[in-house]
């Protein structure tokens, strides 16, 4: 993947450069990256705001964290020069596209993790709360000395 994808990306860039010219191709790549970075920043601030609101309500921001991870991937793909990676990055910036892809990736990674055996050997541990066990009379205890003592 790390060898084939860059070669395909280079082939597409060369084909576009042959079709519209070198300078318009470079300009299109720069504009695509700049627009992608701007959109990642805008969507990222929205995700941060939604995460704060969920945490203030006492909820776990799982969906927002998934959106943040997908935005990180989208930002990386927008910065990589190329039309295929830029297009995939820009598509990941669209919420209705990003969320199903993110859920599918989580399902796939969860299935792979359970296949590898990371969920094997689960044990339940029962814990009983017995209250606060810190001493109430702090002055009665002697201070703890750490290191050599000099007189």
Domain assignment of residue 150, yes or no: no
At 28-64, the pLDDT tens digits run 999 999 999 999 999 999 999 999 999 898 888 888 8
Nearest to 47 by CA among 66, 32, 30, 27: 66
Domain assignment of residue 86, yes or no: yes
CA gap 35, 116 in Å, rounded: 40
Domain assignment of residue 125, yes or no: no
Contact indicator for 74, 36 with CB cutoff of 8 Å:
yes
Domain that holds residue 52: 4-119
The total of structural domains in the chain comes to: 1
CA gap 99, 89 in Å, rounded: 14
Domain assignment of residue 81, yes or no: yes
Q: Does residue 25 have a pLDDT over 60? A: yes
Give me the chain's average pLDDT, please.
Answer: 83
The pLDDT of residue 38 is: 93
CA gap 96, 88 in Å, rounded: 14
Domain assignment of residue 33, yes or no: yes
* Mean pLDDT value of segment 113-126: 60
**Displacement of CA 40 from its chain's centroid (Å):** 12
Nearest to 83 by CA among 144, 5, 4, 1: 5
Nearest to 75 by CA among 86, 64, 63: 86
Domain assignment of residue 137, yes or no: no
The pLDDT of residue 76 is: 92
Domain assignment of residue 141, yes or no: no
Domain assignment of residue 142, yes or no: no
The pLDDT of residue 136 is: 67
């Amino acid at each position: 993947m790390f060898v084939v994808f860059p070669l395909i990306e280079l082939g597409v860039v060369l084909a576009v450069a042959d079709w519209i010219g070198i300078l318009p191709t470079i300009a299109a790549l720069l504009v695509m990256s700049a627009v992608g970075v701007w959109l990642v920043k805008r969507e990222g601030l929205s995700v941060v705001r939604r995460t704060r609101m969920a945490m203030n309500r006492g909820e776990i921001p799982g969906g927002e964290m998934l959106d943040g991870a997908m935005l990180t991937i989208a930002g990386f793909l927008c910065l990589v020069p190329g039309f295929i990676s830029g297009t995939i990055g820009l598509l990941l910036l669209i919420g209705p596209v990003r969320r199903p892809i993110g859920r599918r990736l989580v399902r796939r990674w969860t299935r792979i993790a359970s296949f590898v055996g990371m969920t094997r050997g689960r044990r339940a541990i029962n814990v009983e709360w017995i209250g606060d066990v810190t001493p109430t009379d702090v002055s009665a205890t002697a201070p703890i000395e750490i290191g050599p003592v000099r007189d």
